[in-house]
Structure 1
Amino acid sequence: MGNTEVKRKAIPKKIRKKVYEKYNGNCAYCGCEMEISEMQVDHVESLYWYGGTDDISNYMPACRACNFYKSTFPLEEFRENLKTIPERLEKEFIYRLSKKYGIVQVTDKPVQFYFETVN
């Protein structure tokens, strides 16, 4: 049986630097500041599932948490998954208790990615 996993080639340092500079050292998704050594290069369109390309136009700077949670999902599916987090947290007693005490508040704020808010 053959290996169906996509072999990823290493991204050269000069390309990583360009990806990092796309949003001035911020994660393209949540907007957190990060060092270049902390940045992960996300493929906006997955190589394996969606036929994305291995070039800078398909790269986004991502923090570890966003890159992990986005996984291979397209952007709109990633957005929809983020929207379901409060509903899924409702199953946790500690979350419901935190809401009772006003420590945690749910908002109707739409999920907007950092790269959508900057030029």
Structure 2
Amino acid sequence: MPRVKNREGMMIELPDLPKHLPKSEVPDGRFSRPKNKITKAQRAELRMKFGGRRAYCGCVLPEKGWHADHVEPVRRDFEYVLAPVGSGVTHVARNTGKVLHPDLHTIENLFPACAPCNLFKGAFSVEGMRKEISQQVDRARTYSVNFRTAERFGLVEIVDKPVVFWFEHYQQQEAKIQV
């Protein structure tokens, strides 16, 4: 058995692990790893889902470099583990690779998105993301002296309007065409 020093400097023995660990353990069927890949044909179809534009911000979608976002998040499980000594924190969160809702990994639940929108959305629902975006002006005003200065000098103009995503505009236009 391998031996290592723990945080207190004591020698401890680690259990022997098999050389080839399974990619995910599914002891009770609750967790599983979805097939993360979509085919090239599915990706091409997804790219045109909203007229070749990004679902949230509406910018033109490039051929490559965009994300397939889970509209309803699949939510990945994580665990807290001890942080390395001297890192300044006691624990860090680590992804376990397990997915809590693998049934949500379907082509119908995927939207084309740019990396910034997808990373901002994270595990929020669409309504959760809308709420977070609507709070950005107040947050910037509260926490950013640069924003307040730009606002004071008329470089930033605040527009009070609801957050409407591109896919909502697109679906509305499609509905008008079909009538």
Change (3 A) 1:6 1:105: farther
Residue 95 of structure 1 pairs with residue 113 of structure 2: no
Higher Rg: 2
Moved over 3 A (4+): 2-8, 49-52
- Separation in 2 of the partners of 1:25 and 1:103? 32
Check conservation: 2:151, 2:157, Cα contact below 8 A. Answer: yes
Change (3 A) 1:86 1:5: farther
For 2:123, the aligned partner's letter is: T
Task: Identify unmatched segments of 5+ residues in structure 1.
Answer: none
- Separation in 2 of the partners of 1:53 and 1:107? 35
What does residue 73 of structure 1 align with? 124
Check conservation: 1:25, 1:36, Cα contact below 8 A. Answer: no
Check conservation: 2:47, 2:53, Cα contact below 8 A. Answer: yes
Change (3 A) 1:13 1:84: same
Q: How does 1:31-110 map to 2 (within 5 A)?
A: 31-48=58-75, 51=101, 53-90=104-141, 91-110=143-162
Larger strand fraction of residues:
2
What does residue 21 of structure 1 align with? 48
Residue 110 of structure 1 deviates from its aligned partner by 0.6
Between 33-42 and 6-15, the greater mean CA deviation after superposition: 6-15
Q: Secondary structure at the match of 1:60?
A: strand
- Candidates 138, 160, 167, aligned match of 1:115: 167
Q: How many residues get paired? A: 118
For 1:35, the aligned partner's letter is: P
TM-score with structure 2 setting the length? 0.60
Q: Deviations over 1:78-100 (max 9, x none)?
A: 10000110011012111001111
Q: CA RMSD in A?
A: 2.1
TM-score with structure 1 setting the length? 0.88
Q: Sequence identity of aligned pairs in percent?
A: 31
Change (3 A) 1:8 1:70: farther
Task: Identify unmatched segments of 5+ residues in structure 2.
Answer: 1-23, 26-30, 77-99, 175-179
